Structure 1
Amino acid sequence: MPVKDAEKPNYLDNIEINYTPATVAFNDFENFEKGIEFAVAQYSTFDLEVNTIEEVKQARTELNTLSKKLEDKRKEIKRGINTPYDEFEKQYKGPYSKLTGLISELKNQIDGYEEHQKTLRKDKVRTYLYEKAEEADLNKQVFDQYLDDFLKASDFTSTFNLKKATQEKLDTIIVQEIDKQNQRDADMMAITDLCAKNNLGPASYIRQYDNGVSLAEILGLINRDVTEIERQRQELEAKRLADEQAQAQRQKEIKEQAIANAKENIVAVDQETGEILETPPKAVKYKTTIEFVFDMDQAKTFKKFLDDKGIDFTTIKGMEKVDD
């Protein structure tokens, strides 16, 4: 139970900590400074180019002795100054730590209470937004991003209800989200319709839209993809026609060559029976072996030449790579 003001002891109201500032001063600083300068001047002339190593070592020993004497005195003075404070601090810390411990404990209680209040406020705001979202047929989780914006006590009445001004702010957010959803629905319709007209799947374009790409950019992407697909289709069609024409030309050449060969071999044919009346003497054929060195394109060209001329040949040994 809290202690009434009239009952509060005043032990700490009249507390005093007495201290006397320490005074540290040279009895003759000018003499001290001159002594240092004299020592520096006296020993700064020592150099191995002039003095022996023993003399230089002795100079260093004497300077170290002087330095230690001065530092010992400084440390003695510091201990003399610090000792009273160290004793005071030992007495002070024990009781004072109880005070800071209590302050920390009360802070933890306050923080826990305020955090709990924030949780309750957040639940209030969430419930309000979720109910409105359900009425508007919106995705509830869309409103989670706004919950932490309405956690101040000033957003609530003393009876822990949302203030009218807070409700108006939340209603504005709801209207904005409804507008966003309506716009998204309209944009989705435009995207899916354009994809359907061009036999494209809309999934990848919708993902880009949801990642922040504007509708105009998405429609531009679809149109560019349609143009590219049509270009590729035309290229494939042109290639197919070219292949068909080349094949037809090849068949025509083979047929013409066959007719020419037949004319060379048949001298006369009975018009009624079709009987061959005369045939030219059988040509004498010769066999030879020739070794050629081709690259792959030359080998293909040469083989085509032999085929076109009707020259029989047999591959004795397959192609093998040769060094230049």
Structure 2
Amino acid sequence: MANEVTAILPQFTVKYTPVPIEITNEAQLKQAITDYASKYKGLVVTEDTFAEAKSVRAEMRKVVTELDENRRKIKRGYNKPLDDFEVRINELKATVKQVITPIDTAVKELEERQRQQRLLNVQALIDEMAPNYGVTAADVEVNPEWLNKSISHKKIVDGVAGTMTAIKAERDRIATEELSVRKYAEANGQQSEGWVTQVSAGVELVEIFKRIDQAVIRQKEASEQERKAAEAAAAVEKLKQKQVGNKTVDTETGEVVDAVPELVETRLRILGTHEQLMALKQFMDDSAIEYEYLEG
């Protein structure tokens, strides 16, 4: 069909003979302008030459204006055949484009339908292959190259397989490293979840271990500081106390500080029913009274 379309067009050429543009007395004109320009070139404007300088400027501008008007006049006449030619050519092009536009639209629509069909075929292939590689179809992003019309089926299969293999390997790596981080964190007394999420965030395993070690050190330092602060506070409190008889008194407030009561040991022989003795035992247990059974 393409050859038929070309065959209906007659052979044609565009004839164009440039028209020479001549300036009458061009040599004399050029010489006169050159002499006039040379005469006033480098004119120094002073109070004495001010009027002359303005007159020269006006004359020079008149020369430029006259030259420019002639140039524009010739250009308009020179361009008119070209303008008429472009109008005729554009009319012919418009006639052809009326046919091209719907064909172009139809071609693009068909190409898009073909592309969508190739996409469905590739997606079906991904769905089929995914279980064999331990991944899901949703994990695989379609590579635009797989939709090219010229690509072979084997190349698509190889590309999908390579992508799935890489996804599975990356997922296994993450799972292994997450387990390592979890165990390392728990072994060091750390909550593991916050550290585990850093693996999927792309942090290197060595770096995560380093951060855990630093966290442990900071916690130990904080605990040691708290212990020392508590000991210092207790020492200060002890300095403010003195023993008066069997009581400990705060030297600043005069208040009696609760002291640990003195333990008293006694021996008793108790006679009662089983229920009474069990009730007594429960009372002593609840009151944190120390006791022991004696033989005989």
Q: Normalising to structure 2: TM-score of the pair?
A: 0.71
Identity %: 19
Cα deviation, residue 167, structure 1: 1.3
Deviations, residues 119-171 of structure 1 (Å, cap 9, x unaligned): 32223223322443345553543311x43231112334xxxxxx234213322
1:69 and 2:62 matched: no
TM-superposed CA distance for 1:190, in Å, is: 0.8
SS at match of 1:154: coil
Alignment counterpart, residue 32 of structure 2, candidates 12, 30, 35:
35
Query: How do 1:1-324 and structure 2 match up within 5 A?
Result: 2=1, 5=4, 8=5, 10-26=7-23, 29-44=26-41, 45=43, 47-53=45-51, 55-134=52-131, 136-144=133-141, 146-156=142-152, 163-251=153-241, 255=242
Indicate how the Cα distance of structure 1 residues 246 and 219 shifts in structure 2: closer, same or farther if over 3 A, else same. Answer: same
Tell me how far 1:186 sits from its aligned partner: 0.9
Whole-Å separation in 1 of the counterparts to 2:158 and 2:16? 62
Assess if the C-alpha contact under 8 Å between 1:155 and 1:166 holds in 2.
yes
What is the number of residues matched between the two proteins? 248
Distance 1:38 1:71, change over 3 A: same
SS in 1 for 2:240: helix
Query: How far apart are the structure 1 equivalents of 2:180 and 2:197?
Result: 14
CA distance in 1, matches of 2:79, 2:3: 42
User: Relative to 1, partners in 2 of residues 1:120 and 1:250: Cα closer, same or farther, differing over 3 Å?
Assistant: farther
Structure 1: which amino acid aligns with 2:235?
A: Q
CA 1:9–1:218 in structure 2 vs 1: closer, same or farther (change >3 Å)?
closer
SS at match of 2:140: helix
Distance 2:211 2:128 in 1: 38
Distance 2:18 2:65 in 1: 27
Secondary structure, aligned partner of 1:85:
helix
Deviates more, 1:28-37 or 1:174-183: 28-37
Report the counterpart of residue 267 of structure 2 in structure 1. none
Residue 159 of structure 2 aligns to a residue whose secondary structure is helix
Secondary structure of the residue aligned to 1:153 is coil
CA-based RMSD: 3.0
Contact 1:122 1:151 in 2 (8 A): yes
Q: CA deviation at 1:214?
A: 1.4
Structure 2 SS opposite 1:115: helix
CA displacement 1:219-250 (0-9 Å, x = unmatched): 22112212221221121122112222222222
One-letter amino acid of the structure 2 residue matched with residue 202 of structure 1: S
How far did 1:14 drift? 1.1
> 1:317 — aligned with what?
none
Structure-1-length-normalised TM-score: 0.66
Equivalents in 2 of 1:175, 1:46: separation in Å?
Answer: 86
Q: 1:4 and 1:49, CA in 2 relative to 1: closer, same or farther beyond 3 A?
A: closer
SS of 1:126's partner is helix
Which amino acid in the other structure matches residue 206 of structure 1? V
Structure 2 CA distance for partners of 1:13 and 1:124, relative to 1, 3 Å = same
Q: Which stretch shifts more, 105-114 or 215-224?
A: 105-114
Deviation at 1:108, TM superposition (A): 3.5
